[in-house]
Structure 1
Amino acid sequence: MIYLSLFNGISAGRLALSRAGINFNKYYIAEIDKFANKVSEFHYPDNIQLDDVNNWREWDIDWSSVGLVTAGFPCQSWSLAGKQLGDKDERGKLFWVTLDIMSHVLDKNPHAKFMLENVKMKKEFEEYITLHTENALGKVFKTLINSALVSAQNRNRYYWTNFPVSQPSDKGLLLKDVIVDDYISDRDKSYCIDANYSKGANPSQYFNKSRRQLVFGGAVRGRYIVDGIRQDHKMKTVGMTTQRLEVREDGKTNTLTTVQKDNVVVIYQRPRGKNKGAEFTEKSPTLTACSWEENNKLSYRKLTPTECARLQTFPDGWCEDVVSNSQSYKAYGNAWTVDVIKHIFECMERHNNARRDKNNVRFDNDVIRQSGAAI
Structure 2
Amino acid sequence: MNVLSLFDGISVGQVALKRVGIKYDSYYASEINEDSITVTKHNHPNTVHIGDVTNIDEYFINNLPKIDLLIGGSPCQGLSRSKNGRLNLSDPRSKLFFNYVDILGWLRKRNPDIKFMLENVKPNKETVELMNEAIGCEPIEINSELFSAQRRVRLYWTNIEVPELPRENNLTIKDIEFPHEHDVKVVKDEHVDTIRLGKNCMSYDTSGKGWYSQANRAYYRDGKMCTIPKSRTKSKCNIYLGGREFRRPHPIEIERLQTLPDNYTSVIKSDDSRMGMVGDGWTADVIAHIFKGLKTT
TM-score when scaled to structure 1?
Answer: 0.71
2:203, 2:39 → 1: CA distance?
A: 28
Which of 216, 229, 236 aligns to 1:257? It is 229
Decide which of 317, 324, 332 is 2:278's aligned counterpart: 332
Counterpart in the other structure of 1:132: 134
1:205-262 superposed Cα distances (whole Å, 9 cap, x missing partner): xxxxxxxxxxx6889885544xx8x6xxxxxxxxxx9963354697001101112222
Q: Counterpart amino acid of 1:266?
A: Y
TM-aligned CA distance change 1:253 to 1:265, over 3 Å: same
SS in 2 for 1:262: coil
1:1-375 to 2 correspondences below 5 Å:
1-57=1-57, 59=60, 62-63=63-64, 65-81=66-82, 82-134=84-136, 140-169=137-166, 170-183=168-181, 186=182, 189-193=183-187, 196=194, 198=196, 200-201=198-199, 222=207, 224-225=209-210, 244-245=216-217, 247=219, 251-260=223-232, 261-268=235-242, 297-350=243-296, 352=297
Greater mean alpha carbon deviation, residues 120-129 or residues 32-41: 120-129
| 1:191 alignment partner AA | K
- RMSD of aligned residue pairs (Cα, Å): 2.6
1:122 shift after superposition:
2.0
> 2:184 corresponds to which letter in structure 1?
S
User: Could you tell me which amino acid in structure 2 is paired with residue 29 of structure 1?
Assistant: A
Stretches of structure 2 lacking an aligned partner (at least 5 in a row) = none
Residue identity matched to 2:229 = T
Q: Deviations over 1:314-347 (max 9, x none)?
A: 1110002344212101110111000000000002
| Structure 1 residues 3 and 218: alpha-carbon distance in aligned structure 2, compared to 1, 3 A threshold | farther
Q: TM-score, normalised by structure 2?
A: 0.88
Alpha-carbon contact 1:70-1:114 (below 8 Å) kept: yes
Unaligned 5+ runs, structure 1: 135-139, 203-215, 231-240, 269-296, 353-375
Larger radius of gyration: 1
How many residue pairs match? The answer is 288
Counterpart amino acid of 1:117? E
Task: Give the deviation of 1:302 after TM superposition.
Answer: 1.0
- Give the CA deviation at 1:167: 4.5
